Amino acid sequence: MNRSEYNNALSRCVSCGSCKAFCTTYDNSPNEGMSARGRITLLYAYEKGRQPISKLLNERIYSCTLCGKCMKNCPLDIDIREIIYHARANLQESDKERRFLRYILKLMMRSPNLIYKMYHFIYNNIFIEAIKEKINPFKIELPQKTFREKFNVITPQRKIGRIVIFSGCAINYIFPHIGESLIKILFKMGYEIIVPKGEVCCGTPFRTLGLENEAIKLAKKNVCLFNKLNAEAIISLCPSCTLTIKNDYPKLIGESINNIVDATYFLYNRMNIKLSEMKNVKILYHQPCHMKYGIG
């Protein structure tokens, strides 16, 4: 989104409030500035010189969770997610609260595996629980080996096709067992599975913090790598990654990864699962916001 498109998107809002009724941050904090309409009003005023840059302005813009629920209910189909991304890129220099996070992200972009190994070393050699709590508040046990370190090419005896996995950072570094489960299913179905070594972050965390140029560099690397691979489908295990690649890459660099599909959609369509025939089975299913309101 260039500056002209951004200003046009801001001016198209008629302040009807349809988005406000569905905004999760407004539900939690019923203040106009915490709603999608309120954020657009603030940004429009800022562009017109009526709203100065302030800590409060940054907090309002960064409080958006980018879930996309408001966009599904906007009668004018305004791309509110893209407005927030663009605004954060514009405001990042004035946003001191998240400056350290940006520094860490840039560091991870340059040497993700080195940072991962350093984290393991530091965390395992700290004996003060208060510091450990700060480093890992959710007490997640990170595996010694990443998903992409464990796998490369897995070929069954009777191959029916080839699948490439876009693992994403969460699966690669934190939840590799989910990726392993997908490999087992695909292998059982008869697919050859490719786990490329050169994959980088999809760019979502960078755009979330206003680091647009860094997100563009990552997008170009992923498109260059994955579009060279001959595969029936490229399966993504993370809806946020899928949404970014399908929706945001064309806006950022004018192209996307071909045949990218969310793992849930792929398995549901290929395995011919008939939910109506499943009796006496309790299933808990969580539909992520980026799948429900973004991918569709």
pTM of the model: 0.89
* SS percent in the chain: helix, strand, coil, step 5: 55, 5, 35
pLDDT in tens, 58-111: 999 999 999 999 999 999 999 999 999 999 999 999 999 999 989 989 988 888
d(CA 58, CA 51): 12
d(CA 15, CA 24): 18
- Per-residue pLDDT at 270 exceeds 90: no
CATH of 3-94, one of 1.10.1060.10, 3.60.20.30, 3.40.50.150, 3.30.300.10: 1.10.1060.10
Q: How does residue 259 score in pLDDT terms, banded at 50, 70 and 90?
A: very high
pLDDT score, position 236: 96
Cα dihedral sign, 82-265-288-207: negative
- Which CATH code for domain 147-295? 3.40.50.1860
How deeply is 60 buried, as exposed, middle or buried, from its count of CB atoms within 10 A (0-12, 13-18, 19+)?
buried
Domain residue extents for the chain: 3-94, 99-135, 147-295
pLDDT in tens, 12-51: 999 999 999 999 999 999 999 999 999 999 999 999 999 9
Q: Please, where are the H alpha helices in the chain? A: 3-12, 24-28, 36-47, 55-62, 69-72, 80-91, 99-110, 112-124, 129-135, 147-150, 168-169, 176-189, 204-208, 212-226, 239-243, 249-253, 263-270, 289
pLDDT in tens, 201-257: 999 999 999 999 999 999 999 999 999 999 999 999 999 999 999 999 999 999 999
Fold: same for 3-94 and 147-295: no
Cα dihedral sign, 163-164-170-171: positive
pLDDT in tens, 99-151: 998 998 998 888 888 888 877 777 677 666 667 677 677 777 778 889 999 99
CA atoms within 13 A on the CB side of 109: 21
